[in-house]
Structure 1
Amino acid sequence: MRLVNAELFKLRTTAIWWIMGLILLPLYAASLGFNWLSSYALVSGQADGGGADGQAQVDAASLPINIATNMYTTGQYMGVLIVLLLSAIIVTSEFFHLTATTTFLVTPRREAVILAKLGAGVIVALLVWALTTLLDLLLVPIIMDALNLPTQLGEPAVWRSIGLNALAFVLWAVLGVGLGVLIRSQLAATLILGIVYTIGTSVFQVIFALLTNYVAQWFENLQVLVPTTASQLMLSGTELPGNPPRWVGAAVLIGYAAVAGVVGTLITKRRDIS
């Protein structure tokens, strides 16, 4: 626990944590507004599925429980981006501030250092999740009332989605630490991960859509291999038509996190630190 506290102290002594916090709040507000408009379109029947299969998905998404689970996990998309970047910075800051050598001299067991960084990343992830969830629990009931829908807080599916949302934040933190080991430059890690997360997600969605339309229908189910899609799938209130089960999304995200954590630990143990 002392090593975890040390990692958190390193993060607190830099300006990056409160800069990320300032960025998170307007991004959360934008996400809440977007989800509100999307939910209004579903409730008012303005959403068009563009076909029989698409309409079935729209009809399922229009169910009050699915609108509720989507609203009560508002902030995940941008929240996990902040967690991903902060978790990577927990690693890359050692090389940016030239403290890596000192850290590994003080704690020669490198796997212990990586585990401490993973622990610090998980704590950061849970703090960001707690903040966004608290805001959701305060604001979403007001939005649900404006949509003429019950709050759905008595439904187990809502609390399951909130709990799985916490798991998603934790897994993205582990992924961030692992990727931070692979990309040692703090600037490069921030730019690469940020661009791949935001732009890359859209690019992969377009690629899978083209493959589905022009090659084979089964390519649609492979979209779950995109980490952001996998974490979104975990949170649905009911099984959505044309999508894999929720557990597939969780399995994919756990797989990415496990590989990143193991590979990151092995690379750190073998790599020369200077």
Structure 2
Amino acid sequence: MNIVAAVRAEFSKILTVRLWWVLLIVLAGYVAFTAGILALAFGGLGDQLGAGGGDVPQIPDAALPPIIYSIASSVGYVFPVLFGTLATTAEFRHQTLTPTFLATPRRGVVLAAKFVTLAVFGGLYGIVALVASVGPGASILAATGRDTGLGDSDTWLLLARVVLVMAIWAIIGVGLGALIPSQVAAIVIVLAFTQFVEPILRLVSSFVDWAAGIGQYLPGAAGDALVGSSIFSSFSAPSAGAAMLEWWQGGLVLLAYAIAAGAIGYLTSWRRDVT
């Protein structure tokens, strides 16, 4: 079986279960709610709260739209990486890898097909997340007299990079799933790292000068750098090395994580006997 047939088989596996669209719906709702709240807080109520002596930080008008739109990836990236992980570990859990490897003995082709397929779904997740962030975000900004930034080519480049980063996150998920065959363990590790460990590390690195340079190379920070904007970096404490990487540097770092996870997963669990 060639790579085209293997990719077709991977699409069939995913589309026959409900997981992909259930996660997609949750992603859309989560991102839309977060983007709407931020647009209302910093676009609609920021001036009033600031004028009243509140503690709401003021964000420059030009920087506000990218921050709100990038919510699609800065808080939504956990969904494609989790989906990629689940789509791979499910093969081990339900032992569907056995017939898959019988039909396609070249295991590298199977893994490559998963990378391609999940990258496409990751891009789809990125598009839906953008609709969920740009829709309510731009509407609230326009209603409150703020510039939506949608007439700026830089904004559209940022949106395109959001789709790209979500695709890469899905590939990382595949690599993690190949590396950690246990579905429960993989889910716990993904959620613990993305929701607790990395946010804490990024917060600490934003306050400690010597750790700031290291914090830039964390996966989430690299993803934010590739996009070019993030709610997390906007509220980081100023430090000597707190600036994000260039977008292309962030992309290379994130790709390095994807390649490393995939390569190690292939050389370990993916090559073992699965029967």
Q: TM-score normalized by structure 2?
A: 0.82
**Which position in structure 2 is the counterpart of 1:5?**
8
CA distance in 1, matches of 2:178, 2:18: 21
1:178 to 169, 175, 178: 175
Q: How many Å separate the matches in 2 of 1:136 and 1:29?
A: 5
CA-CA distance at 1:129 after TM superposition: 0.9
- Residue of structure 1 equivalent to 2:53: none
User: Unaligned stretches of 5+ in structure 1?
Assistant: 48-57
Tell me the secondary structure at the aligned position of residue 104 of structure 1.
Answer: helix
Say if 2:211 is the partner of 1:219.
yes
CA distance in 1, matches of 2:245, 2:74: 20
- Give 1:65 deviation, angstroms: 3.0
- Looking at structure 1, the residues matched to 270 and 110 of structure 2 have their Cα atoms a distance apart, in angstroms, of 10
Matches of residues 259-274 of structure 1 in structure 2 within 5 Å?
259-267=260-268, 270-274=271-275
Aligned residues: CA RMSD: 2.7
1:194 aligns with 2:191: yes
Q: Post-superposition shift, 1:148?
A: 2.0
The corresponding residue for 1:232 is: 224
Q: Matched residue of 1:65: which SS? A: coil
Q: Residue deviations 1:7-51, cap 9 Å, x none?
A: 12212222322331332233123321342245338952968xxxx
- The yes-or-no answer on 1:246 pairing with 2:249 is no
Q: Distance in 1 between matches of 2:147 and 2:115?
A: 39
Q: Contact 1:224–1:230 (CA<8 Å) still a contact in 2?
A: yes
CA distance in 2, matches of 1:35, 1:246: 25
Amino acid of the structure 1 residue aligned with 2:10: E
Equivalent residue in structure 1 for 2:27, among 24, 27, 40? 24
Q: Among residues 146, 166, 169, which one is paired with 1:169 in the alignment?
A: 166
Q: 1:118 aligns with which of 115, 120, 124?
A: 115
Query: 1:71-122, CA deviations, whole angstroms, 9 ceiling, x for partnerless residues?
Result: 2233213432111111112211111111111111110010100011111110
| Mapped contact 2:39–2:140 kept (Cα < 8 A) | yes
Letter in 2 for 1:221: G
Counterpart secondary structure, 1:225:
coil
- Whichever residue aligns with residue 125 of structure 1, its letter is G
| CA distance in 1 between partners of 2:226 and 2:149 (Å) | 18
CA distances 1:180-224 after superposition (whole Å, capped 9, x unpaired):
0111022221222122111112221244246x1xxxx23223221
Counterparts of 2:64 and 2:149, CA distance in 1: 10
Change beyond 3 A, Cα 1:237–1:190: closer
Instruction: Work out whether residues 208 and 220 of structure 1, in 8 Å CA contact, stay in contact via their aligned partners in 2.
Output: yes
Q: Is the 8 A contact 2:32 2:132 kept in 1?
A: no
TM-score (norm 1): 0.83
State the 1:64 CA deviation: 2.8
1:255 alignment counterpart: 256
Classify the secondary structure of the residue corresponding to 1:79.
coil
Alignment check: 8 A CA contact 2:81 2:170 kept: yes
How much identity, in percent, do the aligned residues show?
27
Give the aligned partner of residue 151 of structure 2: 154
CA distance in 2, matches of 1:33, 1:237: 17
